[in-house]
Structure 1
Amino acid sequence: MAAAGPPAPVGRLGPFFAVVWLFFLLDPLSEGWSRRDTVAGWVGVAATVVFAVVYMWLWLRSRADRARMIEAPPLRWSIGYVGALVVLGGVMVASLGETGLTSVVYIGVGLVMVFPPRVAWPLVVALVVVTIGLSAVEGWGSQVGTAFGLLAASVAVFGLRTVMSRNIELVDAYRRNENLVVENERTRFARDLHDILGHSLTVITVKAELAGRLMDVDPERARAEVADLERLSRDALADVRRAVDGYREITLPGELSRARLALEAGGIVARVPNTTDDVPGELRELFAWTVREGVTNVLRHSRAGTCEILLGPTSAEVRDDGVGCGDGPGPGAGAGPGAGAGLTGLRERAVAAGATVVTRDLSPGFSVAVVAR
C-alpha cells in the first residue's frame, strides 16, 4: 500500500455520477411509499433512504482514499460499511419483498470497492447464487436479470478500481524516481563541491603557509604569494558559483597550469606535460579531474620533493616521490594518501566514462592513474 498523503479534494462530477446510479432505488422507495399505511411500508422507505446514504458515504470515502494514495481502506472500516449495507438490504427485502432485491447490486459494487479481489469475488459469486436462489420464493419472478445486473456492475467497478490502482502505482513509482533523482543530484553536487573546494583550499593553505614564512625574509615574494591567495580565493568562489548553477567548467590545460603553480608554491618540483594533444576529447574532462585530485593529494599528504604528471591517449597519471601508502597495483587498490571522498568521486567519474582508477605504492612515492578501457 502506498503511503498516505494529504487528502485531495473530491471532484464535483464524481459524486454526481454516483448519485445518478441511485436512480434504481426509486423502485423500492416507490413500493414502500405505496404501502405507507403499513409499518412495513414505512420501514421499507426508511431502510431504502438510509441504504442510499450509507452507499454514498462508502463511495465517497473510497474515492477520497484513492485520492490520498490509499489503495485499500482498513479492514474494520470495510466490514462495518458493507455489513451495514447487507443489514439494510435485508430489511428492504423483508419489508418490501421482491423489490428490495435491488439492493444486492449496490452490495456487490460495495464488496468490489473496498475488499481485495481475493475476498471480494467469492463474496460476489455467493451473492449471485443467493439472488438466483430467491427465484424459488413463491410469487417472485426469475431473479436471473437481477443477478446478471449484479455481476455486470461488479465487473465494471472492478475494472475502474484496477485502473485507479495502476494509477496509484504509477504515481508512487514517479515519486520514488523523483526522490532518487534528487538524491543522486545531491551526491553529485557534494562530490563536485569537495573536488573544487578541496583542491582550491589546499593550494590556498600551502600559499598562506609560504607567505607566512616569507614575510620577514622576503617581503616582496610574500606580497606576491598574498596576491596569489586573493586570486585563488576569487577563483574558488567562481568555481563554487558555477557548481551551484549546475555547471562544471574544467579543462585539462587549465588544470595542468594550476597544478604547476600549486606544486611550485608548495616547494615541489613539477614535471608537467607541455601539451595535451595526445588526449582524445572524450577523456579530457576525466583526465582533468585526475590531475586535480592527484595534485591535491600530493600537496596534502605526500611530503614529496617531485611530482610528475603523465598523459597518454588512454591514461593519465600523477606520481610523486613522497611517503607513499598503498596496497599494491590494481584497480582501486590501496587507500593511498588522501583516499576518501576525493578518490571515491574520481572512481565514480571513471566508471561513468568506462575507465578504471589504479593506485600504486611506488616505495618511495605514490601513483594515482586513470586508465581507459
Structure 2
Amino acid sequence: MTSLIVVSQEECETPPGGSVRMARLAPLLSGIWLFFLLEPLGEGWRTRDQLSGILGILVTVLFAVAYMALWMRNRADRQKLIAHPAGRPAVLYVGLLVALGTLMTVLLGGYGLASTPYIGVACVMVFPFRVAAPVVLALVGIDIALFAANDWGSSTGLVFGVLAASIAVLGLRMVMERNVELLSAQQENASLAVENERSRFARDLHDILGHSLTVITVKAELAQRMLDVDPERTRAELADLERLSRDALADVRRAVEGYRELTLPGELARARGALAAAEIEAQLPNSADEVPSDLRELFAWTVREGVTNVIRHSGARTCEVRLTPTSAEVRDDGAGCDQPPGFGSGLAGLRERAATVGATVVVRHLSPGFSLQVVRS
C-alpha cells in the first residue's frame, strides 16, 4: 500500500501552463494506483455466487469512481490556483468514500479494508491537518481493531500503508500549496506591472497631446480671427498648425514605441511659441545650463504642464518660467485655478515623476495668479 503515495505525486505533474500532453495523461497515470483495489474485486469475484460478492464488486467499482472524481476535482481547483478546497464538497466526497468503504468491509470482510489508505489520502488532500490527522489515526485504530476482532491476520502492512501514504501526501500538499501561493503572487505582480505601464502610457499621452492640442486650438482660433484682417499672418499660423500637428503625431509615435525623449531647451522653445500664439507675454530663461542632467526631463515636463495650464485656464497676460539647479517654476498673473491643488491627471502624472527623483510638486495661489513649482531639496 505504500505505493499509494504516487497517487498524489501525479497531482504535481501538471502545474498551470504545463504540458498539454501530461495534462491528458494525468488521470490515467493516477488511476494506475487503483491497482490495490483488485484484491477486494477478486474476493467479490470468488464469491460471485452470493449476493454479497456481486454487491461487493459493485461497491468497489463505485468506490474507485468516487475516489477518482475527488482527485479530478482537487486537481481542477489547483489549476484555478485554489489552494484550499471548498469545505462542503470535500466533506460530501470523503463521506461517500467512508460509506462505500464501510460497505466493502461488510460485504467482503478484511479485503474491504483496502479502502482505508485511499480514505486517508483523500482526507489529507482536502482537509486541513487538524482535521485530517485525527481521521487518519481513527482509520488506523479501526483497521487494528477489526483485524484483531475477526482474526484476519496481521494488520501491520495495512497500517503502514495508511500512515506512509498519508504522511507522504501531506508533504506533497504543503509543497503544492506553496506553489499555488507563488503562482498567485506572480500573477498579481504581472497584473500590477500591466496596470502601472497602462497608467504610465496614459499619463504620457495626456501630457504630450494635452500640450500639443491646446496650442493647435489656440492657433486655429487666432487664424480664424486674422483670416480677413491679416492674410499673411493667417498663412503663417496655418503653417504652424500643420507643423504642430506633425510634431504631435511624431510624439505619439514615440510614446507608442516606448520612447520618452523630452528636452528642457526644446520645451522652453515650444513654450515661447505657444505663449506667443496665445498672445501671452513670455518671460523665459535663455538657457537651462545650470539644471543638472538628472532633473532636466522632470523640469521639461514641469514647463510643459505649467505652460499648458496657463494657456488653457488662466486668462493671464504674462507667464514666467524660473529655473534653478534644484527647482523649476511656472507662474502667471491670471485669475488662478478654480480646481483644488493636485486635481487632474496632468498634475498627478507630474507628482509621480517628481517622486521618482525625490522632488516635490508645490502649487500656490498668488495675488494675482498661480504658481506651479517642482522642488528637490
Q: Normalized against structure 1, the TM-score is what? A: 0.89
The aligned residue for residue 356 of structure 1 is 360
The aligned counterpart of 1:193 is 205
Residue in 1 that maps onto 2:328: 316
C-alpha displacement of 1:36:
3.4
Question: CA separation of 1:123/1:276 partners in 2, compared to 1, >3 Å: closer, same or farther?
Answer: same
1:244 corresponds to which residue? 256
Point out the more displaced range, 159-168 or 66-75: 66-75
SS in 2 for 1:217: coil
Structure 2 counterpart of 1:341, from 337, 340, 345: 345
- Report if the CA contact (8 A) 2:319-2:333 is conserved: yes
Q: 1:24 to 1:229 in 2, by over 3 A?
A: same
Question: In 2, Cα distance between the equivalents of 1:339 and 1:300?
Answer: 15
Counterpart-to-counterpart distance in 2, 1:38 and 1:360: 96
Give CA deviations for 1:273-301 in whole Å, capped at 9, x if unaligned.
11111111110000000010111111112
Cα shift readout 1:140-166 (whole Å, capped 9, x = no counterpart)? 223243222111111212222222222
The offset of 1:138, in angstroms, is 3.7
The partner residue of 2:176 within 149, 164, 171 is 164
Aligned-partner SS, 1:195: helix
Which letter maps to 1:258?
A: R
1:118, distance to aligned residue in structure 2 (A): 3.2
Instruction: Give the aligned residue type for 1:335.
Output: P
For residue 4 of structure 2, what is the aligned residue in structure 1? none
Runs of 4+ in structure 1 displaced over 6 angstroms?
none
Give runs of aligned pairs for residues 74-153 of structure 1, distance below 5 A.
Answer: 74-153=86-165
Residue 325 of structure 1 deviates from its aligned partner by 4.5
Report the CA distance between 1:339 and its aligned residue: 4.6
1:209 counterpart residue number: 221
Q: Please, which of 346, 357, 370 is the counterpart of residue 366 of structure 1?
A: 370
What are structure 2's unaligned runs of at least 5 residues? Answer: 1-15
Q: How does 1:221-232 map to 2 (within 5 A)?
A: 221-232=233-244
What corresponds to 2:66 in structure 1? Answer: 54
Is contact 2:284-2:321 (8 Å) kept? yes
Deviates more, 1:99-108 or 1:284-293: 99-108
SS at match of 1:367: strand
CA 1:125–1:230 in 2, change beyond 3 Å: closer, same or farther?
same
Q: CA deviation at 1:272?
A: 1.4
TM-fit CA distance, 1:256: 0.5
Deviates more, 1:96-105 or 1:70-79: 70-79
Cα separation, partners in 2 of 1:365 and 1:39, compared to 1, 3 Å? closer
Deviations 1:25-48 (A, max 9, x none): 222222333333433333333332
Unmatched segments (≥5 aa) in structure 1: 327-333
Among candidates 230, 248, 259, match of residue 271 of structure 2:
259
Whole-angstrom distance in 2 between the partners of 1:325 and 1:112: 65
Partner of 2:5: none
Q: 1:180 Cα shift?
A: 1.6
SS of alignment partner, residue 370 of structure 1: strand
How far did residue 238 of structure 1 move?
1.4
Equivalence map 1:11-90=2 (5 Å):
11-90=23-102
Go from structure 1 to structure 2 and tell me whether the alpha carbon gap of 1:72 and 1:360 turns closer, same or farther (over 3 Å shift).
closer
Q: State the secondary structure of the residue aligned to 1:358.
A: strand
Kindly state the Cα deviation for residue 73 of structure 1 after the two structures are TM-superposed.
4.2
Q: Once the two structures are superposed, what CA deviation does each residue of 1:182-206 show, in whole Å capped at 9, x if it has no partner? A: 2222221221111111111111121
Picking from 194, 208, 213, the partner of 1:182 is 194
- The percentage of counterpart residues that share the same residue type is 65
Which structure has more relative contact order (CA 8 Å, sep 6+)? It is 2
Aligned partner letter, 2:357 = A
- Look up the equivalent residue of 2:197 and give its one-letter code: E
In structure 1, C-alpha distance between the alignment counterparts of 2:86 and 2:32, rounded to whole Å: 27
**Which residue number in structure 1 is paired with residue 6 of structure 2?**
none
Alpha-carbon offset, residue 365 of structure 1: 2.2
| Aligned-partner SS, 2:308 | helix
SS, match of residue 285 in structure 1? helix
The AA in structure 2 aligned to 1:17 is L
Bigger Cα displacement from structure 2, 267-276 vs 72-81: 72-81
What is the RMSD computed on CA atoms of the aligned residues? Answer: 2.4
- Separation in 1 of the partners of 2:58 and 2:216? 86
